[in-house]
Amino acid sequence: MVLSIAARDRFAPASLGARLGFIAAAGAVVLVLVFCDFVVNNRSLLAKDRVDWTTFGLIRPLTAFLAACLLVMGLQPSSSAARPPYGKQAPLLIGVAWISAAILSMTAAIVIIRPELLNETVREGQFLSILTEVGFVVGLAGFGLAIWRSRHDRGRVLGIPVPAVFAAMFLACLLVLMEEMSWGQHWIGWTAGPMFEGNAQNETNLHNFATYRFEAVYYSAAFLLFVLLPMFWPSDIPVLKSLERFVPPRLFALAGLPLAGFLYEEWNIVIYQVWFFMVLLISMKLAADLWRGPFRAAGLAVAVLLPVSQLVFVFGGHRMVDGYELSEIREFLIAVLIAAYAWWLVRNEAAGGRKSRPVVVS
């Protein structure tokens, strides 16, 4: 065993070079695909539309799948650097994974049975919109408690005091909440002033001035924080050690995988297709990792639900009233994950913070 680890360490630089090569190749594939899409279809990068059933529309997901394979191979850390899938807060994280799976499966079922119900549920001021705001409030409470509990922590993360890191998370969550509720417009009832002329929905917020670009940044950040970092965090890079206490174990990625689903209007967008095929591959990897442990059912459920639900959305999404409903449900899931992450942080810090290490459950 010692010899095999030493051998892996000896070849680590070559392995790193190969991984960077895979990532570069994936980037080249995506750039070529986006360029060809623009030339052939005059389609901009973030253009939304109904599912494209043309020849190019069938080539696009195949090429995106290739890019996803290259990215997963490039991001996968070496076996010696990979983190165990479980952590000390495994019951919390597996509960969130089941909630995510339930949201995905219920949405697919509603699209099949009564698609107009989605529109009635996700509109501003309706049930799901309120629940999304509640999720952010729960997250704020968690980040606030983390700030309070860390007030005597003299540790630093890349030179930044730990309480300041939690405060930055609190402020980011507050900003998203206020944008979501249009800074109180939907609750208090004021109208958008002259500053917000040109807002796509006549709301007091910034994100509807460039909705598609804001969504791309917002969804990409969530995908990075709640899927890619937990799944591919390299534990063998010394400069990143101080950040490790803020990165949940791979089990958290299982809850985040459905973020890359819920695609109908966005199905033709290359980057979203790459995400989706990445989570398909990641879900199979996680299902295999969890198979011998106590959470095999959750791993298998998510791995099966992702492709099945996406087939429902692609072939049945045209039955929805407006088409944007799935994006609203994704934003609700992001609020759930932010709340879960905040309280994972609180419990992780209470259990020992940076001194805690993932625990393998066999």
Domain ranges of the chain: 84-355
Scan for tokens 């010899």, then name that residue.
3
Residue length, the chain?
A: 362
Confidence of residue 244 (pLDDT cuts 50, 70, 90): confident
Q: What percentage of the chain has pLDDT greater than the value 70?
A: 84
User: For residue 10, what pLDDT is reported?
Assistant: 41
Tell me how far apart the alpha carbons of residues 114 and 133 are, in angstroms, rounded to a whole number: 25
pLDDT for res 200: 47
Q: What is residue 361's predicted lDDT score, i.e. its pLDDT?
A: 39
Averaged pLDDT for residues 201-229: 79
| pLDDT level of residue 319 (50, 70, 90 thresholds) | very high
Region 91-118: what's the mean pLDDT? 94
pLDDT digit string (tens) for 157-177?
A: 888 899 999 999 999 999 888
pLDDT above 60 (res 199)? no
Which range, 73-82, 83-92, 200-209, 213-222, has the best average confidence (pLDDT)? 213-222
Alpha helices by DSSP H, listed for the chain, are 2-10, 12-41, 55-75, 90-113, 116-122, 127-149, 162-180, 185-188, 211-223, 229-232, 250-256, 270-290, 296-316, 325-350
Q: Is the pLDDT of residue 353 over 80?
A: no
Q: Which of 177, 148, 176, 142 is nearest to 162 (CA)?
A: 148
Q: Provide the mean pLDDT of the chain.
A: 84
Which of 58-67, 144-153, 351-360 shows the lowest per-residue confidence on average (mean pLDDT)?
351-360
User: 194 pLDDT band (50/70/90 cuts)?
Assistant: low
Nearest alpha-carbon partner for 279 in 120, 134, 69, 130:
69
Between 238 and 336, where is the model more confident? 336
